[in-house]
Amino acid sequence: MRMFLPVFNYACMLILSVISATFVYTILFTPPEVGFSYVEITSFFILIAYVLFAAPIQIVLHRNPKKFRGRDLLIYFIAAWVVCSALALWIDYGLVVFISYKFYLFSFSSALIYWLLDSVFLMNKGA
């Protein structure tokens, strides 16, 4: 049973990260009149972004694990900013998105959420 513990911890961390980031995104960007299906789609896209972009970075950072390392938060923030920028430009929001504080706040929040939950659930050693 102990061999499934890392998988369980990663699944818990990922699910809590997606729920928290979806909540932050909903507060920042979603108008009140949209339905629940919008939240479901948003959480699905956040899950894809975490799995495709944050998980590989996490694997590299776990070579020398240390809880709550500021360098890791900075790396997660830069990655989140790049992914959010690429998605905003791909969705055709244009360069206007870069002057919105909500864009930077969401990038930092999603990085902070992932970093905190990574440190709590997956870091077994370190200070």
- Digit-coded pLDDT (tens) for 64-117: 888 899 999 999 999 999 998 888 888 777 777 788 898 899 999 999 999 999
The model's pTM: 0.85
The region that residue 68 occupies, defined by phi over 0 for left and psi between -120 and 50 for alpha, beta otherwise, is left
Q: Which residue has the higher pLDDT, 33 or 94?
A: 33
At residue 62, what are phi and psi to the nearest 5 degrees? -85, 5
Which pLDDT does position 100 carry in this prediction?
A: 84
Q: Which helix (H) or strand (E) holds 110?
A: helix 101-121
Work out the pLDDT band at 1, boundaries 50, 70, 90: low
Among 24, 19, 16, 13, residue whose Cα is nearest residue 106: 24
- Name the amino acid, one letter, at 116: L
Residue percentage of the chain with pLDDT more than 90:
47
